[in-house]
Chains A and B, each alone.
Chain A
Amino acid sequence: MNPGLDLRPILPALILTVTGLVVLLAQAFTPKGKRAPAVPISLFGLAAAAIAVYLLAPVSQEGSSAVLGGTLVADAYALFLEALIVGIGFVGVLLSSSYLRETGEERGEYYTLTLFSLVGMLGLVSATELIALFVALEIMSVALYALTGFDRRRPESQEAALKYFVTGAFSSAFFLYGVAFLYGVSGSTSLDRIAQALASPDAGSRGMAVLGVGLLLVGFGFKVASVPFHMWAPDVYEGAPTTVTGFMAAGVKAAAFGALMRVLGTALPALADHWQPAIAVLALLTMVIGNLGALAQSNVKRMLAYSSVAHAGYLLTAAVAAPRLAASAILFYLVGYAAVNLGGFGAMAALTRDGREPLSLGDMAGLASRRPALAAALTVFLISLAGVPVSAGFVGKFYLFAAAVNAGYTGLAVVGVLMSVVSAYYYLRVVMAMYMREPVGDDNWAPVAAESRLALAFSVAIVLGLGVFPGAVLTLARRAAESLL
């Protein structure tokens, strides 16, 4: 094969793009009133993409896995995250079908948009060049804006989409501005060349580079919903269709943190003295404000939105130690976090009937006697979010804080664990409602659909499995992190 045209490294993204188009066409050729087989097609495509990621594993060892002029790469780091993202897509699709049916939004475009945003995420984690990174960010984001507003009949959904779009565009501008500064300093947008240029800078351009890094951090800060760039998150998470919220919480965090760690680790190690304190401050603010914000919420979806802000803070805590110590911890955490969020939002989505979702603690009351298995699954997710063993959340937090402590940021770890205690209070409130309160009113919730059951069981298995046997995934994460260096 012509070495210049070796597209194998982006095969997963290509497969998903084609799948998205096929879903769209299938929808177009389906007679009115009938439904296109969007779910099976999507699942088939995702399975193919997963196989492609698996087959690429040897390619990543070859060293020259970069493609398209060195803008995208399929190294071990990218493949780890790609596997995670494809997995998120798979579970997300499984959870969506019954929810869409119950909310009357069962249209194929949903799956197309999901697949396209997945393509963006895959690009984000494999981009080694800032323009490609930006394009991937936009592919992901634009699809997500549309998904957020997918529930046309609910004004909240519309409002969320608009808010997300406006703040998202705003943050993209920051990001792009940062890219411009870095380009100005180094004369390149390639991460490697930026690193080379920054390794021996003169004093004047160093200031410009720091400014550029700051702007990049603002852009990333918006995407991962870190304080003070988190304002959009509660409204968007609450307004978006629940399955989209879960997909977004899991996928965007994985992709954005994946990209952030690559940028920090590959391009900007020379400026570590500048961005480490900045990230430390962001982490501190994010943990404290995210958790305190969640404490005040009575709407479970909104509470989980703030909790997702808080978790961005935990992840940032480790990011100060980037990349040598932190990358593997962050990769591990993202896996558990994805399972927990897909599961948590998925459990709420699975109960949705005729457009009515369990949102308040009152809705959750007595759920343990009506849906014992689902309540047990949700309890596992919440316990993992609180970081209590035996769960992926505990082991993940352990690694994150270990990275911070090893980098000398013991104070951040102390704040992190204390905030975990605060978080236990609001997570346990949901558990309490499910197990310790009597059910209110009639049981109007939907019976859990088979595909949702499968997805939830899978998530529970991941959360508990990683809690007991973290070794294998941690080793993979470490190898992936090593490929960054």
Chain B
Amino acid sequence: MTTPASILSLLILLPVAGAIVVALTPRQNVGVQKLVGLGLTTALFLLSLLLVRDFKPIAGMQFEVNHPWIPDYGIAYKLGIDGISLWLILLTTFLTPLALLGSWDSIHDRVREFVVFMLLLEAGMLGVFCALDLFLFYIFWEAMLIPMYFLIGIWGHERRIYAAVKFFLYTMAGSTLMLVAFLVLYRESGLHTFDLLKLAERPIDIGLQTWLFLAFALAFAIKVPMWPFHTWLPDAHVEAPTAGSVILAGVLLKMGGYGFLRLAIPLFPSAAQRFAPAIGLLAVIGIIYGALVSLVQPDMKKLVAYSSVSHLGFVMLGIASFTSTAVVGSVYQMLNHGISTGALFFMVGMLYDRRHTRLIADFGGIKSVMPWFSALFLLVCLSSIAVPGFNGFVGEFLILVGSWGLDWRLVVAASLGVILSAAYILWMVQRVLYGEVTHEENRSLPDLSLREAVILVPLVALALFMGVASPAFTRKIEPSVDALISQVRGHTEPFPTEVRPEALQAPRAATTPGEAAR
């Protein structure tokens, strides 16, 4: 039996319906609310597995839904996914139930609202990844801010209000200009539609493309976040409750890169290529900068937060290269980052739940106290620093190989970032896990509970699986990326840097099964 196309609508509407139901339950029914939240998000994950089963590894949109919505403006409720969005949807449905489970014991206050906001957030995120109409995309893109604002602001740490407001305003400031760009595009295209695919078929005049691309790029660069637009990230990630940090790092940060791939590049191919070197440069600055700042963080959560700036720099470098290899690597790296950084935030949260501190200096010798935790922590860290055999390696390798043609100096600098990331992560591991137990309070910390193990084991298993079986994933990503790249190159004004043939060849080989992993 094949999956009906309406599955995408179901994925978006079910959490909304669930949120309404939970909102109507009496405040004290905490157990029911949690169970409904967890049950529903788990069901959504299972539902999304159907997408994987029936997704054909071909280019073009699948599971398309198209209903006229506001005909006066040619706005449609149009959904569809391709290889780029497929796995991001899976990532979302995978992390959300885990995030709910992760907050099972740490959220006591206003549980009903918490579940409602998590469900609305999931609907918004899935909507962003499914929308193929600019107006619809923008609705989800912005609507998503509200639940995240509440998650940070209500259940966050000491400076939560500051962080929540900063998060909201930063993101909104970036995206509103994109809204004006939508309107200008609508006027200029003369197609009387907000349909992404139709607009991408006929790119507009190059002069205007530049301006509109910049408006889009600002919105997405803030979301990624690219240096120097990253300053909201440390605040938001550190102050958010664990579930919020996991979703922020795991899914929300992917929307920037996704936005570039889905909107900015197909709509403005010439301008995108013109700005590719600049994006590549900012990306590499972000890689090095994020790594250096991580190196000196005394606070684990901050360290992980800044490491995101560095890791997302790789994603943007790959996107800026405009080679299939690197872009496939970028999409893969987005998934990796979601899993490994999500897991890291979970684990920092677990330590925080036990000790109510996140300072590295307050730990040490945890290995002997919490052996299971320490083993998983080490594995997650290895995944995060892209050790071969783990998922991170595949992504970073593809990106570095594929980006050579953009500018080899950038690749060399980015490789330095790889080394730095090993340095800050391993140094943290050393100080937290190894050595003597220096604080008496740490002697009696309980090891992982069953609930915590249920959260972490799938993440670690997936990190390993994605490290050795990458083709299972990339096989479905590649056709869509290839189509994107050839579409971009088809509309090309002269490509800014010379592409060396060997740089284009090598990646082909690397994407074949497992090789990269070994």
Interface residues, chain A, CB within 8 Å of chain B? Answer: 328, 368-369, 372, 383, 388-390, 394, 398-399, 401-402, 405-406, 410, 413-414, 417-418, 420-421, 424-425, 428, 432, 435-436, 470-471, 474-475, 478
Contact = CB atoms under 8 A, between A and B. Distances in A.
B154 to A, nearest CB: 6
A424 B172 contact: yes
Contact of B172 (A369, A401, A421, A478): A421
A428 B171 CA distance: 14
B179 A398 contact: yes
Contact of B139 (A390, A402, A436): A390
22 contacts: A328-B72, A372-B27, A389-B138, A394-B142, A401-B179, A401-B183, A402-B183, A402-B186, A405-B183, A406-B183, A413-B180, A413-B183, A417-B179, A418-B173, A418-B177, A421-B172, A424-B172, A425-B169, A428-B149, A428-B168, A471-B69, A474-B72
B158 to A, nearest CB: 12
A410 B371 CA distance: 61
A383 to B, nearest CB: 6
Given A394-B142, A401-B180, A388 B172 contact: yes
B184 interface: yes
Contacts of A432: 153, 161, 164-165
Given A414-B177, A432-B161, 10 more contacts: A383-B146, A406-B187, A410-B183, A413-B183, A414-B180, A417-B179, A421-B169, A428-B149, A436-B153, A474-B70
Contacts of A471: 69-72
A471 B138 CA distance: 17
B411 interface: no
Contacts of A368: 110, 113
Contacts of B367: none
7 nearest CB pairs, A to B: A417-B176, A405-B183, A389-B139, A436-B153, A421-B173, A389-B143, A413-B180
Most buried by A among B71, B135, B139, B169: B139
Contacts of A436: 153-154, 160-161, 164
Most buried by A among B71, B146, B160: B146
Nearest to B170: A421
Contacts of A413: 180, 183
A309 to B, nearest CB: 20
A372 B113 CA distance: 10
Contact of A435 (B70, B72, B150, B179): B150
A478 B70 CA distance: 12
Interface of B: 27, 69-73, 110, 113, 135, 138-139, 142-143, 145-146, 149-150, 153-154, 160-161, 164-165, 168-169, 172-173, 176-177, 179-180, 183-184, 186-187
A215 B99 CA distance: 61
A418 B161 CA distance: 22
A475 B135 CA distance: 18
Contacts of B135: 398
B176 A420 contact: yes
A418 B177 CA distance: 8
Contacts of B183: 398, 401-402, 405-406, 410, 413
A474 B72 CA distance: 8
B488 to A, nearest CB: 26
Contact of B169 (A369, A372, A424, A470): A424
A139 B456 CA distance: 70
B72 A394 contact: no
Given A398-B135, A435-B153, A421 B176 contact: yes
A328 B73 CA distance: 12
Contacts of A383: 146
Contacts of A369: 110
Contacts of B160: 436
Given A424-B172, A425-B165, A417 B180 contact: yes
A417 B165 contact: no
Nearest to B69: A471
Most buried by A among B71, B168, B180, B187: B180
Given A389-B138, A421-B176, A410 B184 contact: yes
A289 to B, nearest CB: 19
A391 to B, nearest CB: 9
A174 to B, nearest CB: 34
A387 to B, nearest CB: 8
